[in-house]
Structure 1
């Protein structure tokens, strides 16, 4: 089956990119609100119950659509559609994904660290950061390559904006694992997506071997309700969030964030 995975760091545009690809007339989006990780775990481990769990996720996922896709209730209803998995926590499983027989394309968002950290802090919900730390702690690769960062994440005295910055750094750099495992990830800057949404949508379509459709830039017409991160699915693409971090982070926080993230930002060609 053809599957498109949206990996990368939370708050980097994963929801928007998932919805754009999921709005394609042949696409079907499954995300965190659809119990995606329960199924994904079974999928990666080739468990016997993977199709039962997939059907449960599909039934939940169909409710986000306002077109005929809201009638899709199980795998057999998908026909010749492709799945779009908005699943940033699959970022930790590049090796396992590479062993699957499905036709897989990977889209990997990246976003200015300051905007990501500000967004994480604005939510005032430590659950996401705690969950990410738990994922990092289970990753042998993270233990081997980011032990000092992991130690800071595990320290209760580390300030929350520092933890958020480290999470951004590690999850952004994990794109290397997708490259090493020959998954050919497409790096997409959130800022480019906002400034040139049609051109970037076409780039994503080419990378995923699907035909570009205007649906992709009109996702708000095909979905409603709220997505992960309380994102309104019927919200058009806009640039309202690009520089909000200016008013959300103080000078001391910005200095500490950039001290940690400067090199990684440069690696991804961000001008600071």
Structure 2
């Protein structure tokens, strides 16, 4: 089978499956004429039916159709092929023609979802008036699946329209409750928009340092007392005596009458020169000394 034809047949069977509920394995009603045609053209009927319908198939034949093959002479290969199929009970006490039998089994709506494989032209014309009936026939040793009839397409459109407009009891109850409630829906208040967190500068984290202890205010009297206590409490360095401090002696010079500062200490020798006084100051000091000597002599 060509790829384009196989794609077309697949779409047709998807249409029957999605709209009318056909499912695999597909139940195929075969008539006596198709069995004879398949034997004449040497066609593997079951394999070709599976290729045409693009899925698993389940061929079936009615008791009336196989009875027609029994009545005809020289159709033993067709009879053997028909015996390999599943028997479909048609509930006819006396055998009737195959076309009438298949039409009665299909009925007005094909509720059992049969696929009809027949070579009878009158039967095919009658089946086209019934919605959702796939028809298969052989044309010059090629098995063909007929496109859906106008009745089938109209039934498909009506089903789709009903599916769009129909409501279930639960949906009706929901609609009635919604119509009763006339309160307008409350609108949520929108607050100020927050800035983009990626564009906001991060806050600096400050560590909590221990705070210094507060001291009581110091008054003047307390400051003086504390200063005295601090001076008194300072320990003297060990090994230090009053003899360590340098001794100063003022000696008079007989000649010049000038006094020089001589520092004697037990420690290392260190001399410090005294500034010389002015001549007027020295003369006054000499006069004072001379007067003192005179008073003492008298």
Q: What is the TM-score of this pair, normalised by structure 2? A: 0.21
If asked which structure has higher relative contact order (CA below 8 Å, sep 6+), I would say 1
- Bigger Rg, which one: 2
